[in-house]
Amino acid sequence: MAKASIFHRPALASRLAEQILHTSPTSASPSGVFLAAPRRTGKSTFVREDLRPEFEGKGAIII
């Protein structure tokens, strides 16, 4: 079985990472994100292939 190509979304990953890592001076807690979409539409692939590397590039620790 051939591996399907990945549709990378670097601009979206960059925007989300900036929003998530930004701590608002008026908030007592950091930001977060909730991804919702129908099954098999690429949510996990997006996090693994685009969002995680963006966080790592910005110095975030991924667990």
Residue 3 has pLDDT above 70, yes or no: no
Question: By the 8 A CB rule, do 45 and 62 touch?
Answer: no
pLDDT tens profile 7-42: 999 999 999 999 888 887 887 777 677 899 999 999
Pick from 62, 31, 30, 61: nearest CA to 48: 62
pLDDT tens profile 33-51: 789 999 999 999 999 999 9
Looking at residue 27, its pLDDT comes to: 78
